[in-house]
Amino acid sequence: MTITITAFESSPDGGKGLSRDTRVRWALEEVGQPYQVRLVSFRALKEPAHLALHPFAQIPTYEEGDLALFETGSIVFHIADNHAGLLPDDANARARAITWMFAAVSTVEPPILELATARLLEGDKPWNKERLPLVEDRVRNRLKQLSARLGHADWLDGAFSAGDLMMVSVLLRLKASGILDEFPSLEAYVARGEARSAYKRAFDAQLAVYTDKPSTG
């Protein structure tokens, strides 16, 4: 069955791979599933056809036959659950990998997004100077905890899993902030994720959209 995902027609990051279609592309590349991409304008996000797929008017979405999904955590889980390569066979190890997926989107990503908002959208507010260090420290606290758990391991729990895919995807947003550099083991963890051939293919495919090359993955 053909898999179709949505991505921005015009990406705010210009192809740095931070739009969340990249993590879905990455998951599909890891499991070797071909996919098509439908590019959506900001105006089209708010139109009924897209809202029927995504109630919050965002990308990415995922369509496969009768199934339509939104939320990258759910999409990546669906891919990992249906194709070998992203979740361990052992039931307990599988449950732990899924736990890391949730940790990525519900515990680590929120302060990182808050930091992006504080830096990009609230820089002109009179209270930003006082608030920004607090937000940065919340991110540092999470990274300290994550780094303590990762220790000297390559991945969070044994072999690379969908948990790592989501965690690396979330941490990638910090690369430009300078904060990730304070945690060399996490910086190396992110670099290991980026070095995977599946990630490279996903990255190149999303970049191709904005450099006028064909956009299907």
In the numeric block, which tokens belong to residue 216?
A: 């299907």
Minimum CB separation of residue 36 from ligand GSH in Å reads 18
The smaller minimum CB distance to ligand GSH, of residues 46 and 133, is found at 46
- Nearest position to ligand GSH, beta carbon: 58
Q: Which of residues 35-74 bind ligand GSH (CB under 6 A)?
A: 57-59, 71-72
Distance of CA 1 to the CA centre of its chain: 24
Q: Which residue in the set 3, 5, 17, 20 belongs to the binding site for ligand GSH (CB under 6 A)?
A: 20
Q: Does 173 bind ligand GSH (CB under 6 A)?
A: no
Which residues are paired to 39 by β-bridges? Answer: 7
Q: Give the gyration radius of the chain's Cα atoms.
A: 17
Range list of H helices, the chain: 21-30, 42-45, 48-51, 72-82, 91-103, 109-120, 128-150, 162-172, 184-195, 197-210
Minimum CB separation of residue 94 from ligand GSH in Å reads 21
Q: Which residue in the set 5, 19, 25, 217 belongs to the binding site for ligand GSH (CB under 6 A)?
A: 19
Minimum CB separation of residue 152 from ligand GSH in Å reads 30
- Closest C-alpha among 62, 65, 93, 66 to residue 75: 62
Interface residues toward ligand GSH, by CB under 6 A: 19-20, 57-59, 71-72
